Structure 1
């Protein structure tokens, strides 16, 4: 191998390095990354309002439940209640699961199902599960009773909520009468 061959090989290696360096500098100038203000990713999350009476106001449905129950469908409610079946049972004397048994829930005192350990927030709320109370709770459980252990996001659709409440009403030996709609 003579010196001319060695010069050609070294020249090719040097030329390749030069082309790579120029390409790298050009790409760095054209595709320069933006400097971030703070490191990490921003995760977009739905913010809840923290106003004076925010918890109850946030859970308020658009239409009164008395009016919605007049057109509610027990069959649709039974279908929608299947979402609840992962945590609740519906039959008389049924066992408690992650949530309490819901048989005869309408007009029952809150947090009284035997053998179920309710959260402190649910026990402190007190009162009865009236049609209106059920509607507000099912609309946004954590918004209506902050601190509840119920992890369900809620039923934002008024008609679906009314269907479920009408279905729950029928789960009793003596179902509660439908309330009359305010005119």
Structure 2
């Protein structure tokens, strides 16, 4: 069925296909290369002008947390708690996360019966002050690396202040 001529044609087709593939790859690399192709000189196709006012890392700060916490809206805090309800309860029972009754002022990792992460157990000598809760709720994994809490955090300081004020009302 296969004679020498057929085998030669098949081998030639495979080699020819490989050659076309390699040439196409070379052409694509030349066209879409990220390296400078003109004597090693890299050029930009356009430049975005950015004004530098001398304080490149200056961050505009809003009101202090203590001021926002003092004027916090408890009703808005209850609405903010809706994001926490999936894991936390305020009826004294634990869910996926520990119950949050009396969490403001309570020692860290102190809800009896809940399996806290080692990092929070290591912070057990400290308590959940409004400032500590603010830092934790802003970025849980940044505050306590290795925490079991998978929530990304509340980016708005006003939402955190309202939530903490509402939690403070929960016995």
Length-normalised TM-score, structure 2: 0.63
* Aligned equivalents of 1:114, 1:157: Cα separation in 2: 31
1:106/1:89 Cα in 2 relative to 1: closer, same or farther (>3 Å)? Answer: same
Question: What are the within-5 Å matches in structure 2 for residues 75-114 of structure 1?
Answer: 75-91=75-91, 93=92, 95-114=93-112
Q: CA RMSD in A?
A: 2.6
CA offset at residue 64 of structure 1? Answer: 3.5
| Greater RCO (Cα-Cα under 8 Å, separation 6 or more) | 1
Question: What are the within-5 Å matches in structure 2 for residues 1-183 of structure 1?
Answer: 34=32, 63-91=63-91, 93=92, 95-126=93-124, 127-172=126-171
The one-character-per-residue Cα deviations of 1:27-63 (angstroms, maximum 9, x if unpaired) are xx8xx973689xxxxxxxxxxxxxxxxxxxxxxx964
1:75/1:128 Cα in 2 relative to 1: closer, same or farther (>3 Å)? Answer: same
| Regions of 4+ moved over 4 Å | none
1:82/1:136 Cα in 2 relative to 1: closer, same or farther (>3 Å)? Answer: same
The one-character-per-residue Cα deviations of 1:131-180 (angstroms, maximum 9, x if unpaired) are 111111011110011111111111111100000000000001xxxxxxxx
SS of equivalent residue, structure 2 residue 145: coil
Give the total of aligned pairs.
Answer: 121
Kept in 2, the 8 Å contact 1:135–1:161? The answer is yes
1:62/1:115 Cα in 2 relative to 1: closer, same or farther (>3 Å)? Answer: farther
* Aligned equivalents of 1:145, 1:155: Cα separation in 2: 15
* Aligned equivalents of 1:111, 1:135: Cα separation in 2: 16
* Aligned equivalents of 1:89, 1:138: Cα separation in 2: 16
Unmatched 5+ stretches in structure 1: 1-28, 38-60, 173-183
Unmatched 5+ stretches in structure 2: 1-26, 36-60
